Structure 1
Amino acid sequence: MPHTETPGTEATPATRLRWWTELPLILLVYACYSAGRLLARGDVAGAVDHGLAILRVEKALYLNAEHPLNRLFTREPWIGIPADFWYASLHYLVTPALLVWLFRSRTVHYRAARTWLMTSTFIGLIGFTLLPTCPPRLLDARHGFVDTMAYYSSYGWWGGEASAPRGLGGMTNQYAAMPSLHVGWALWCGVILWRHGGGTRTARTAAVLYPLVTTVVVMGTANHYFLDAVAGAAVMGAGLLLAPFVTRGADRVRAQLLPRVAPVTADSPGADSPIVSAGCQTSAGERIPRQRESRFPAGTEPSSSPSDAGEGAPAPAR
């Protein structure tokens, strides 16, 4: 008897996901993101102008927290060095780790969370393309910023060019500062931990501290302005709103590409068979009972007609 699913227990898209399809998808999206960052370098003069414009707006709004934080990180190695490690590593470790954890332990929530993250990342890529921005650390020294990644480079694997490993700085776009996806991805991690971390005090504390500390770190290391961090949070908000539409669009494309099972009709081979298995339904949805099997050998079945019962029947014994 063919397997039929009980109504209300249909497999959701998340439960049909497999790691061998998810991993190439994530790698493809990240490759597009990295390639887009390189292609969207823009001209340096324009990026510097954008950075200075952001700095002027922040000073006018008294939001310029980058200078005091950067001086603190430069003056205190016990703060600056861990902050550089935080910036150079957790962005690339915590986010993938949470994706894997969701896939394995919170599968029903994985697809929505992954789509949200990817949609926001592509929005950020549009920002890098349209608004290349020079980070504070690359501004002229007279603006008062110190590149802590270069200042403490002897303590880590990075060089003087962003958080790339030493010697590979040319493979990254140093003018992709607006929006800050360090902050955006950290905010995504915080929301995921808060919503799906089991409600424990540890999970919720980490959910709040991780994006907040990341925001402080990106400013103290002079990698981002405060408004970059605000833009990173806004990008995640936009991605959250657009993710359901992206999911529905992906479902429509999948429905068009995957083969469909043809319904059984009267013209289908075997549709006129006198014996139909139990549980089979017609195209109209009516259930056809299975034909009762005879307990007598072929040709010896007793007649069920009243007239036949009286002809040639042996007389009852007296």
Structure 2
Amino acid sequence: MNARTEPAEGDAAPARPPLLREFLLVAGLFLLYKSGRLLATDHTREAFRNAHRVWDLERAVRLPGEGAVQSLLLHGDVPVQAANTYYATVHFPATAAFLVWLYLRRPAHYVWARRVLAALTAAALVLHLAFPLAPPRMLAATGLVDTGRVYGPSVYGSPQTDQLSNQFAAMPSLHFGWALMVAVGLLVATRSHWRWLWLLHPLLTLLVIVGTANHYWLDSILAAALLGGALTVIRPAARTAAPGARVVVPAQRPALVEAGR
């Protein structure tokens, strides 16, 4: 049987959502999240009480100590400052670049990823309000160093005067949750054999947030569980051929016309 190449019928790119609407929607969701986080900034006593509970639970279930990761960073100024810089500068730009790339190159996957990120962030906000948590850098019992304050750069001021962020919203870690979604989204939306390297982003993020004492292990475990739930409920679009792709289809044989038989 002969074969020939024809354009795949599904090669036409799905229509992108209106750009202005998407910008306003994403910006509005982000501002709503930031405003919601600030509602829990005054729960200092409860946040420290919960921090002791989390720390004791991690020791009870024999999770590795966060200090083991931090000790690797404290061998010199360069690694610890690089970790602080990664924590301060990669989180939002990487997620924004991920959404922009999907919007421009994989619009069908963009809608799915935006919905998953919105669901994950909404669930995180509920937990931030219900379970305020001081990060390990604030808890003397951990023996950990606040690497941002000691070595710089730091994204946080004093908890008493910081009006731009809620430092008692450690659980779950959206640094890790968003990084993991970026990796998952790119694995789903791309075909390259090298795409598995995107998993280095959440892995590096995990080491950074723990090593800088901004999060406990459990913060990341819960973020991964919430993301898993969102991915279970919100399914990605069906895979479509990459732009310009061609598929091989069998050539049709000429019809046999039998006359007078």
| TM-score w.r.t. length of structure 1 | 0.66
Alignment of 1:100-115 (within 5 A): 100-115=100-115
Alignment of 1:1-318 (within 5 A): 15-140=15-140, 142-153=141-152, 156=153, 158=155, 160=157, 169-201=162-194, 203-205=195-197, 207-243=198-234
Superposed displacement of residue 89, structure 1: 1.1
Q: What is the total number of aligned residue pairs between the two structures?
A: 226
Superposed displacement of residue 16, structure 1: 4.8
Cα RMSD (Å) of the superposition?
Answer: 2.3
The alpha-carbon distance between structure 1 residues 159 and 135, as it changes in their structure 2 partners (threshold 3 A), is closer
SS at match of 1:170: coil
Whether contact under 8 Å (2:16, 2:107) holds in the other structure is no
> For the residues of structure 1 that align with 2:162 and 2:226, how far apart are their CA atoms?
26
Superposed displacement of residue 204, structure 1: 1.8
The alpha-carbon distance between structure 1 residues 220 and 102, as it changes in their structure 2 partners (threshold 3 A), is same
- In the alignment, residue 172 of structure 1 is paired with which amino acid? S
Whether contact under 8 Å (2:187, 2:196) holds in the other structure is yes
SS at match of 2:45: helix
**1:29-81: per-residue Cα shift (whole Å, max 9, x none)?**
00010001001235211111111111111112221331122233234222111
**1:185-211: per-residue Cα shift (whole Å, max 9, x none)?**
00001101212233231x321x21111
| TM-score w.r.t. length of structure 2 | 0.80
Superposed displacement of residue 113, structure 1: 1.1
SS at match of 1:171: coil
Larger radius of gyration: 1
> For the residues of structure 2 that align with 1:178 and 1:98, how far apart are their CA atoms?
23
More contact order relative to length (CA 8 Å, sep ≥ 6): 2
Query: Unpaired runs of 5+ in structure 2?
Result: 1-8, 236-261
- In the alignment, residue 142 of structure 2 is paired with which amino acid? H
Whether contact under 8 Å (2:16, 2:108) holds in the other structure is no
Superposed displacement of residue 151, structure 1: 1.1
- In the alignment, residue 73 of structure 2 is paired with which amino acid? F
SS at match of 1:56: helix
Query: Unpaired runs of 5+ in structure 1?
Result: 1-7, 163-167, 245-318
Whether contact under 8 Å (2:124, 2:172) holds in the other structure is yes
Superposed displacement of residue 221, structure 1: 0.3
- In the alignment, residue 15 of structure 2 is paired with which amino acid? T
